[in-house]
């Protein structure tokens, strides 16, 4: 696997070097229009804010956040339109996977522990930005679909089976911003930050681990990514 990554990196480097040699350094970045595709790598944080609507043996009536941080990797594809000499709009779709996983005990006297894991995130976004020579500064936003992987793992009390499972696919929104640099006519490098919000899920908790009838557990889920990318323009 390492040799494959190494050979891929050498091949990409050779192609970029060829393009640089064919295009003078002083050549202007004239047009961002066209299709592109690329790969991305970075870090992501999944955050789940657990709360209930009462003081109970399992929860203390407050809201607590549980997060997992992991490596994010994936790919993207999109299209740009240069609508003026300094203004670019576009549409982009990407699919990434977050490797993060963590287990945290809810503070005493609770006997539960909360597991938070990463997963897949797909977005479909509009982009709009301004160009400064070869640099594109942009904002982005749109639709997000992702896994909200969190549950009570009960590792603290093994005799108790998991009762509260919020491992679901959710639809939300995503916003972000970034900068992209036109290295050659065909290759770009970028860095960007995205925030995806999946809203709040509710789960009836009557009779589970001492929670009285009529009480509800709520989890608000989100994911933040900071990542770099390499793209090829067709």
Question: Hey, what are 32's tokens?
Answer: 């961002």
Report the alpha-carbon distance of residue 66 to residue 64 in Å, rounded.
7
Reported as a single tens digit per residue, the pLDDT across 24-35 is: 444 444 799 999
**Which whole number is the average pLDDT over 76-86?**
96
Contact predicate 116/66, CB 8 Å: yes
Give whole-number Cα distances, 201 to 34, 52, 140, in Å: 40, 11, 26
Mean pLDDT, all residues of the chain: 78
Q: Which segments of the chain does DSSP mark as H helices, in order?
A: 2-22
Band of pLDDT at residue 208, cut at 50, 70 and 90: low
Spatial distance between the Cα atoms of 37 and 202, rounded to a whole number of angstroms: 38
Q: Using the predicted structure, report yes or no on whether residue 15 has a pLDDT greater than 90.
A: no
Q: Is the pLDDT of residue 154 over 70?
A: no
pLDDT at 60 over 90: no
| pLDDT tens figures, 89-141 | 999 999 999 998 877 776 665 556 777 778 899 999 999 999 999 999 999 99
**Nearest 5°: CA angle at 26, between 92 and 130?**
35
Does the pLDDT of residue 41 top 70, yes or no? yes
Contact predicate 227/45, CB 8 Å? no
Q: Nearest-CA neighbor of 149 among 183, 198, 86?
A: 198
- The predicted pLDDT at position 175 comes to 98
What's the confidence (pLDDT) of residue 24?
A: 47
Instruction: For CA atoms 49, 50, 55, 60, give the dihedral sign.
Output: negative
3-state secondary structure of 15: helix
State the Cα–Cα distance between residues 155 and 134, nearest whole angstrom.
53
pLDDT the model gives residue 90: 97
Question: d(Cα 72, Cα 88) in Å, to the nearest integer?
Answer: 27
Residue with tokens 């999109």: 78
The verdict on domain 32-233 having CATH code 2.40.160.20 is yes
Instruction: Answer with the residue of higher pLDDT: 43 or 149.
Output: 43
Rounded Cα distance between 219 and 61, Å, is 13
Most confident of 5-19, 40-54, 120-134, 201-215: 120-134
pLDDT attached to residue 59: 55
- DSSP assignment of 107-174 equals PTT---EEEEE--EEEEEEEEEEEEETTEEEEEEEEEEEEEEEEEE---SSTTSPP--B--EEEEEEE
pLDDT at site 118: 80
Closest by CA to 119, choosing from 93, 94, 100, 143, is: 100
Residue spans of the domains in the chain: they are 32-233
Q: How far apart are CA 17 and CA 143, in angstroms?
A: 36
């Amino acid at each position: 696997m390492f040799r494959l990554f190494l050979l891929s990196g050498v091949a990409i480097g050779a192609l970029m070097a060829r393009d640089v040699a064919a295009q003078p350094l002083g050549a202007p970045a004239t047009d961002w229009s066209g299709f592109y595709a690329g790969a991305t790598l970075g870090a992501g944080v999944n955050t789940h804010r657990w709360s209930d609507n009462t003081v109970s043996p399992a929860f203390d009536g407050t809201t607590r956040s549980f997060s997992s941080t992991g490596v994010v990797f994936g790919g993207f594809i999109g299209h740009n339109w240069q609508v003026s000499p300094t203004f670019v709009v576009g549409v982009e779709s990407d699919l990434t996977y977050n490797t993060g996983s963590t287990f945290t005990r809810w503070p005493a006297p609770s006997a539960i522990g909360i597991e938070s894991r990463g997963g897949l995130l797909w977005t479909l976004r509009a982009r709009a930005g301004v160009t400064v020579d070869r640099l594109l500064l942009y904002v982005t936003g749109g639709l997000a679909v992702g896994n909200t992987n969190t549950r009570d793992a009960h590792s603290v009390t093994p005799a108790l089976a998991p009762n509260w499972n919020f491992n679901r696919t959710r639809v939300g929104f995503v916003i972000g911003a970034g900068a992209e640099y036109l290295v050659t006519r065909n290759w770009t490098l970028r860095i960007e930050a995205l925030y995806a919000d999946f809203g709040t899920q509710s789960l009836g908790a009557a009779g589970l681990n001492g929670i009285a009838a009529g009480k509800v557990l709520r989890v608000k889920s989100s994911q933040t990514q900071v990542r770099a990318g390499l793209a090829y323009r067709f």
